[in-house]
Amino acid sequence: MKPCFGYIRVSTQKQGEGVSLDAQKDAIKVFASQNSLTVTKWFEEKETAAKSGRPVFNQMLRQLKQGKAAGLVMHKIDRSARNLRDWALVSELPKYGVKPYFAADGLDMETRGGRLSANLQAVIAEDYIHNLREECIKGLRGRLKQGLYPFRAPIGYLDNGRGKPKTPCPEKAPLIKLAYDQYASGQHSINSLQLEMQKQGLTNHTGRPVSKHGVETILRNPFYTGLIRIERTNETFPGVHDPIISMRQFQLVQEMKAGKAGKKVTRHNHLYRGLFRCGTCARSMIPERQKAHVYYRCQTVACPKNTIREDRLDRAILAAYQRVRISDQDATKMKEDWLIWLNTGDRQGVRCSLELRIAKIEDRQRRLTDLLLDGGIDRQAHDERKHSLAVELATLQEEHAELAKTDLSEADLSKFLELITSLPELHILLKPDEKRYLLKNCFSNLCVQANEPVFEPCSWLESRDFGQLTPLVNQLGPFLELLECQGIS
């Protein structure tokens, strides 16, 4: 007697239709005894239309591939292979020494005729179950996989007809870039940016000014960086269209938006609102005005009342900048070191390391697909992972491209050195929003502990690794612009 698994499935959605679990089980038992098979383990799946994926089916396939049984008995093909992918997986079983049987169809999968017939039945079952909508989705997916966006072009791009990539709109694309630049400067809220873009003449598909919601949609759509993101299914595809926005700038804008969203709304626009947390309970320090002074306070009832006055906080920030800035002598030394570095092979090393990381991610993408096909990961986890890998890859590729085209120039290095030698002066000179921006990007985990602010310098402030300076200086674009505005550089 050959040990086999028995697999039965019912769809809870179409009750009354099809064959019940018990009837399927009986048919399989009869078939098994007629063919000298013993069912050693049963796998039962109740599926609903709402949840995709068949965990029992995948688990069973895993066990079969591990050699836990010599055969698999299913009832009928339309039960066992609801779609072609399932069917493909079943038809691969003989490779693992597992023979599939179909109790109701009486197909012998070992003969060519049997396989052909089974394949045909599977196709018919597939066809029967698929409705038009699914066909339509398949068409859309096909185009997405080719990097084409099968929907109306986002604002800033032009439609060129079915099967053709979107192209940047000569009038609107520069305005999209402007919107990102403006927001990244830290000087705008969504509200003020909407007004600004209205003034600049950015319109939507109906020719009206882009709404606040529209501006938000623009700022979070990675289409502008060359990726196609389908929010509903949480999937990302690499597009073939030309990007308008760099991935780095896109990520910066996302971080800034997240920072603003987390901020508590206060009646006054106090300078350091939402930037410092209570060191004890990690909640935001809330600004409040009392007489002539603004105080930042932890409002948590059970918390020791952490408080700091704004002018004291400001002095502490200045002192922190003074601690992290480097002296002019150090800057000169750094420039000398940089010249030495420039003439050695270090930059090549960075390039190689980037290429290595890119290759690694591409390899992980391939393995992720295999993992999904083997049922080792569920669809949602796969999609999330796939998205983050796509973003990571795009970022690295961008870094690589920039490294290749712009090696750090002496002018860039000088700007960088100007920046880290003049942080305290900058803090004094900057406008409130710029001050906040500089502070956020120079220190992480800003908090107040026992009424004293704690500053943790961001790694770039302490980085003396020239290999990292090119991407760093590029990242510092907005700072360097601030410097230029202040006439410091």
Decide whether 303 or 458 has the Cβ nearer to Zn ion: 303
Least distance from C-beta 305 to Zn ion, angstroms? Answer: 8
Decide whether 281 or 458 has the Cβ nearer to Zn ion: 281
408 lies in the binding site for Zn ion (CB under 5 A): no
Residue type, 399: E
489 lies in the binding site for Zn ion (CB under 5 A): no
| Residue 481 in tokens | 């612009």
Decide whether 305 or 366 has the Cβ nearer to Zn ion: 305
**Binding-site string for Zn ion from residue 265 to residue 294, where x marks contact by CB under 5 A and - marks none:** -------------x-xx-------------
| Residue 73 in tokens | 């008995």
320 lies in the binding site for Zn ion (CB under 5 A): no
Measure the CA–CA gap between 336 and 452, rounded to whole angstroms: 38
- Is residue 298 within 8 A of residue 305, CB to CB? The reply is yes
Least distance from C-beta 302 to Zn ion, angstroms? Answer: 8
Decide whether 281 or 429 has the Cβ nearer to Zn ion: 281
Least distance from C-beta 303 to Zn ion, angstroms? Answer: 3
| Stretch touching Zn ion by CB under 5 A, among 205-213, 295-303, 363-371, 373-381 | 295-303
- Phi, psi angle pair for 350, to nearest 5°: -65, -45
Which of 200, 190, 181 has its CA nearest to residue 245?
181
153 lies in the binding site for Zn ion (CB under 5 A): no
318 lies in the binding site for Zn ion (CB under 5 A): no
Only one residue has tokens 């072609």, namely 84
Measure the CA–CA gap between 24 and 10, rounded to whole angstroms: 9
303 lies in the binding site for Zn ion (CB under 5 A): yes
- Is residue 78 within 8 A of residue 68, CB to CB? The reply is no
Least distance from C-beta 442 to Zn ion, angstroms? Answer: 24
Least distance from C-beta 292 to Zn ion, angstroms? Answer: 25
300 lies in the binding site for Zn ion (CB under 5 A): yes
Q: How far is CA 38 from CA 13, 25, 98, in A?
A: 31, 13, 14
Decide whether 252 or 278 has the Cβ nearer to Zn ion: 278
Q: How far is CA 39 from CA 73, 96, 193, 271, in A?
A: 8, 18, 67, 73
Measure the CA–CA gap between 3 and 65, rounded to whole angstroms: 14
Least distance from C-beta 293 to Zn ion, angstroms? Answer: 20
Least distance from C-beta 299 to Zn ion, angstroms? Answer: 8
454 lies in the binding site for Zn ion (CB under 5 A): no
461 lies in the binding site for Zn ion (CB under 5 A): no
Q: How far is CA 411 from CA 138, 285, 402, in A?
A: 52, 40, 16
Query: Strand 157-158 and strand 107-108: pairing?
Result: unpaired
Decide whether 23 or 281 has the Cβ nearer to Zn ion: 281
Decide whether 273 or 325 has the Cβ nearer to Zn ion: 273
End-to-end CA distance of the chain: 86
Determine which residue in the list 298, 320, 361, 438 makes contact with Zn ion, applying CB under 5 A.
298
Decide whether 50 or 301 has the Cβ nearer to Zn ion: 301
Locate all alpha helices (DSSP H) within 265-409, ordered by sequence.
310-324, 328-342, 346-373, 379-405
Q: Could you list the residues that contact Zn ion (CB under 5 A)?
A: 278, 280-281, 298, 300, 303
